[in-house]
Amino acid sequence: MRAPGKCPRLIQITFQKGIYLPEIDLWLDPPHSRQKAFISHAHSDHVGRHREVICTRLTQNLMNLRNAAGRRTQFSDLEYGQTLQLSGFELTALSAGHIMGSAMLHVRRIRDGASLLYTGDYKLRAGLTGQPAELKEADTLIMETTFGLRKYVFPTAAEVTRMIGDFVSKTFTEGGVPILLGYSLGKAQEIVAALRGIQNPVMLHPHIEKVSALLAPHLGPMPEIRAWDECNPRGHVLVLPPHVPQIQSLKEKFKCKVAMVSGWGLDPSAKYRYRTDEVFPLSDHADYPQLIETVERVKPKIIYTVHGFTREFAADLRAKGLDARALGQEEQLDLSL
């Protein structure tokens, strides 16, 4: 197998407490504060207080809303399909389909056309909100593999929407209050979109309401939203982030049924782990077939896997004759290729 990174045509990458492109002096979603970084999306494990940040305007607005940028951070907007020239390279943002504002980064070295695609978090399946992902061929593919095991095959968004609708109807019929749990940014908006066909109004926890208000112009038609009032939840569908203290008190005072919304719902033990009545597998990540499809469509010469089942997925790709390498946590500490 060709030694990874030795081919002179490939764009140089180093992995040292983050992914770094030395030819452009650019970090990709670095976990520590850096001079210049591309931020793929506004989830807390991808943002940081860097001096210069390249991201979409929506990601910038979400970072500012959550106070996740440094006071002196300088932002460069890069919208889907737009290209920025930097140190002899072209940087193009592509929709990642993960959450609102999420972007992949396609990098092309102008002098010889060598290319790289960094996916960040992504999914290919059309979500209920936001734009679908767009892929582009590249010599080097750095991809997330959160659900990189064969057993992770998600149902369609329409199927999960039906499951959520059935859960809500059954809970009301039994005289209870349905509670749906999802992270404030991304999943909560998908949950609310899944409730579009529900007759009852929806109450959003204030953390979710704050994010949803910023995203409202991009979300399309929504069910009726009422102001949060945890003393009078009857007749409403409640959407809360996981782990907020109100969940327990609501369960004690009212006849609540609680469902987590997460891709990990595919694991049979998920509802015991989350201590909920149900878990619905609506994910904002790619499942295994989508990960394979990504490799087939990008046609890379070399693949690096990050996040989740990196080793397992890279091994599956090697079994197909591809040059794939896992980038695990310990490798990120000090690995230069």
Interaction site with Zn ion (CB under 5 A): 43, 121
> Based on CB atoms, which residue is closest to Zn ion, 43 or 108?
43
**Smallest distance, Zn ion to C-beta of residue 26, A:** 20
**178 to each of 203, 232, 250, how far by Cα in Å?**
11, 13, 11
| H-state helical runs in the chain | 57-65, 157-173, 187-194, 206-215, 246-253, 270-274, 288-298, 310-319, 329-333
Least distance (Å) between residue 263 CB and Zn ion: 11
Nearest residue (CB) to Zn ion, 42 versus 256: 42
Q: Supply the minimum distance, in Å, between the C-beta of residue 276 and Zn ion.
A: 21
Q: Which is nearer to Zn ion, 121 or 278 (CB)?
A: 121
**Edge to edge, what strands does the sheet with 225-226 contain?**
225-226, 202-204, 237-240, 177-181, 256-261, 278-280
Q: How many helices (H) and strands (E) does the chain have?
A: 9, 20
CB nearer to Zn ion: pick between 43 and 325:
43
Q: Which is nearer to Zn ion, 29 or 316 (CB)?
A: 29
Tell which residue, 6, 32, 2, 3, has the closest CA to residue 19: 32
Residue pair 149/312 in contact by the 8 Å Cβ criterion: yes
Question: How far is it, in rounded angstroms, from Cα 334 to Cα 314?
Answer: 19
Q: Nearest approach, Cβ of 119 to Zn ion (angstroms)?
A: 11
Write the CB contacts of 92 (distance below 8 Å, at least 6 apart in sequence).
78, 81, 82, 83, 84, 105, 106, 107, 108, 136
Closest approach, Cβ 102 to Zn ion, in A, equals: 7
Nearest CA to 19 out of 31, 3, 1 is that of 31
Least distance CB 193 / Zn ion (angstroms): 18
On the 0-12 / 13-18 / 19+ scale of CB atoms within 10 A, 263 is buried
Q: Given the complex with Zn ion, which of 121 and 316 has the nearer CB atom?
A: 121
Helix, strand or coil, per DSSP, at residue 145 = strand
Cα 110 from Cα 113, distance rounded (Å) = 5
Q: How near is the Cβ of 285 to Zn ion at its closest, in Å?
A: 8
Nearest approach, Cβ of 186 to Zn ion (angstroms)?
7
Please list the helix, strand and coil fractions of the chain in percent, rounded to the nearest 5, in that order: 25, 25, 50
Nearer residue to Zn ion within complex by CB, 4 or 265:
265
Transcribe 192-230 into DSSP letters. Answer: HHHTTT-SS-EEE-HHHHHHHHHHGGGS-S---EE---T
Distance, in Å, from the CA atom of 147 to the CA atom of 49, rounded to the nearest integer, reads: 28
Name the minimum Å distance from CB 281 to Zn ion: 17
Compare residues 168 and 181 and give the one whose CB is closer to Zn ion: 181
Encoded tokens for 43: 């989830």
> Is the CB of 12 or the CB of 61 nearer to Zn ion?
61
